[in-house]
Amino acid sequence: MVLIREQLGGVFRDARKRQGLTLSVVSESARVSQGYISELERGLKEPSSEVINNLARAYGMTLSEVLFEVGTRVAELEDVRVVPRAASVQPELARIDPTLRAPESIPADFDFARGMVGLEDMPDLDLVLPEAPADFSVDSLDPADFSR
């Protein structure tokens, strides 16, 4: 079983070590006791959202950065591939077609071709996909060409 508190503790421990900070410095900056930070880093404590926010600021991180890193670690343990750009793609998809949504995560064994066309329940069906021209680039697409 994946415990979020263990992953959160790992994110904070890694941030502290990466920045070369001591428990004392972090404790003073975040207004959290050294003992509590130590227990949190070892995954023994479940901090409140206020403590998470204070520690994030002490490490120069935003709350969303901390939670994204925790989510990424949980996804890896659950064998789920994270799509890191999904959040940045979302507004562009909505502009093209309001009914489109980018997936937040994709199972590692997901068959993209079958899943994208809704054939994941038909394993015996041969799916032939056309190849894109060698000079094709997604960046060259203009969303206006696809609007209704």
Q: Are residues 25 and 68 in the same domain?
A: yes
Give the tens place of pLDDT for each residue, 7-19.
999 999 999 999 9
Instruction: For the full predicted model, state whether its pTM sits above 0.85.
Output: no
Please give the pLDDT value at position 85.
47
Task: Tell me how many domains the chain contains.
Answer: 2
Please spell the DSSP secondary structure of the chain, one letter per residue.
---HHHHHHHHHHHHHHHTT--HHHHHHHHT--HHHHHHHHTT-----HHHHHHHHHHTT--HHHHHHHHHHHHHHHTTEEE-TTHHHHHHHHHHH-TT----SEEETT--HHHHHTT-TT-TTS----PPPPTT--GGG--GGGG--
Query: 37 pLDDT band (50/70/90 cuts)?
Result: very high
Q: Which of 1-15, 71-85, 115-129 has the highest mean pLDDT?
A: 1-15
CATH at residue 44: 1.10.260.40
Place of tokens 């972090």: 26
Q: Are residues 8 and 70 in the same domain?
A: yes
The last residue of a domain, from among 77, 105, 125: 77
**Long-range contacts made by residues 102-111, C-beta under 8 angstroms, separation at least 24?**
105/75, 105/80, 105/81, 106/80, 106/81, 107/79, 107/80, 107/81, 108/79, 108/80, 108/81, 110/81
Query: 75 pLDDT band (50/70/90 cuts)?
Result: confident
Q: Are residues 104 and 39 in the same domain?
A: no
Q: Are residues 71 and 42 in the same domain?
A: yes
Q: Percent of the chain at pLDDT above 90? A: 45
The last residue of a domain, from among 36, 62, 77: 77
Q: Are residues 72 and 102 in the same domain?
A: no
Q: Are residues 27 and 68 in the same domain?
A: yes
Please give the pLDDT value at position 139.
74
Q: Are residues 68 and 17 in the same domain?
A: yes
Closest CA to 95 of 39, 35, 141, 31: 141
Q: Are residues 71 and 136 in the same domain?
A: no
Q: Are residues 131 and 69 in the same domain?
A: no
Least reliable range by pLDDT among 12-21, 80-89, 127-136: 80-89
Q: Are residues 87 and 142 in the same domain?
A: yes
Range of the domain at 24: 4-77
Query: 135 pLDDT band (50/70/90 cuts)?
Result: confident
Q: Are residues 89 and 122 in the same domain?
A: yes
